[in-house]
Amino acid sequence: MQVSFACTEQTLRSRTSEDRLCPNRPSGGQNGVTVAQTKQRTPPMGAKNQSQVLPLLSHILRESTVKATGMKYRNLGKSGLRVSCLGLGTYVSTCIYTAVAENLMTVAYEHGINLFDTAEVYAAGRAERTLGKILKKKEWRRSSYVVTTKIYWGGQAETERGLSRKHIIEGLRGSLERLQLDYVDIVFANRMDPNSPMEEIVRAMTFVINQGMAMYWGTSRWSAMEIMEAYSVARQFNLIPPVCEQAEYHLFQREKVETHLPELYHKIGVGSMTWSPLACGLITGKYADSVPEKSRASFKGYHWLKEKAISDEGKKQHSKVKELHPIADRLNCTVAQLAIAWCLRSEGVSSVLLGVSSSDQLLENLGAIQVLPHLTPQLVTEIDQILGNKPNVKKDSRA
């Protein structure tokens, strides 16, 4: 079996004081890969620049940093669950072997990532099986990491998809069997189901939590109105409300995360877990001139990405990405690191799910954490002027 870990297209304020949840882990492991060995550029940690930004961050959210890895941890929304600000998303393809997937998870874990995201639909369940096999082989303490899965598309039968009570319960049982776990930390409703009443959905999610099959539940690709309805139903019937929404978020996809979700965060404590920070590779610039062989856009089933990359809109986005290079150069980082750090600065974002297919890509993306303190309000404004797509919001985000 072959597996790739990548962005999933199908795919904070804490109420407690800062704490150090994760034990010190070595920065490199049996694979011998460390941050220092990557050839990617690392931004200087200037005290002057940090002093301009860190006070702004400290009153918005509580985050702790493990010195051994440099990873930052945030609350998932206003729940008590602490997750790494960067997580690892998974899906199966035909280009990456299982051994590479294991190496990616090992590098991620040893560098502080404690969040692994999957779904029942990814490769018809094979992604969950692969993730489960790796976790079992590594024998990491179950209490030291967070596993999330998503329920909606489970099979071909009418009763094997959607958010009926039947499929939520049976679908999650199937996921747990494939993952070889007693529970997942978060189960997501992977889009809204117009055929299932909201009360049935919330009651089923409450049931699986009360049964110990999940710790929390969240939503994915839901509108703000749908999330608020779920919260209202939960409060009305003394049920458990969602704690998080999974949403696409990157330089060219901003409105939902920057305008709708912050309001939900402040009103009902729902956080954001975002995916596709590099727009499936478009922001890296690798599709600027053509579609490289063995890139995601060349895979079967990703014709839509190829069309997007070569479209007029795609060319405009490539042009804007090129304009970001001088800013990245000033920060001594890559555009990919800049783009991920830009996502991390958005209000209410608990974690950004990464999509990588090699340890080099993963280590480069991890460097975004060092870029974050350097995103001053002036730099953010400069980026907004280049993008020209800043949504109208009631108040500014973290930076």
Q: Can you read off the two tokens belonging to residue 14? A: 């804490």
User: What span, in angstroms and rounded, lies between the C-alpha atoms of 381 and 375?
Assistant: 10
In one letter, which amino acid is 89? G
Asked whether 79 and 271 are in contact (CB, 8 A), the reply is: yes
Q: Which of 83, 113, 397 is nearest to 258 (CA)?
A: 397
Beta 86-89 vs 349-354: how paired, if at all? parallel
Q: Is 152 a catalytic residue?
A: no
DSSP H or E run through 174: helix 165-179
User: What span, in angstroms and rounded, lies between the C-alpha atoms of 42 and 334?
Assistant: 9
- Tell me which residue has tokens 């072997």: 97
Q: Which of 328, 334, 397 is nearest to 366 (CA)?
A: 334
Helix (H, G, I), strand (E, B) or coil at 161: strand
Asked whether 183 and 213 are in contact (CB, 8 A), the reply is: yes
User: What span, in angstroms and rounded, lies between the C-alpha atoms of 74 and 160?
Assistant: 34
DSSP H or E run through 75: strand 72-75
Active-site residue identified among 73, 122, 265, 287 = 122
Q: Per residue in 360-383, is it b (16+ CB within 10 Å) or e — as a string?
A: ebbbbbbbbbbbbbbbeeebbebb
Residue 104: count other Cβ atoms within 10 Å of its Cβ: 26
What backbone torsions phi and psi does residue 272 show, to the nearest 5 degrees?
A: -125, 130
146 pairs with which residues across the strands? 115
User: What span, in angstroms and rounded, lies between the C-alpha atoms of 139 and 144?
Assistant: 11
Active site residues: 122
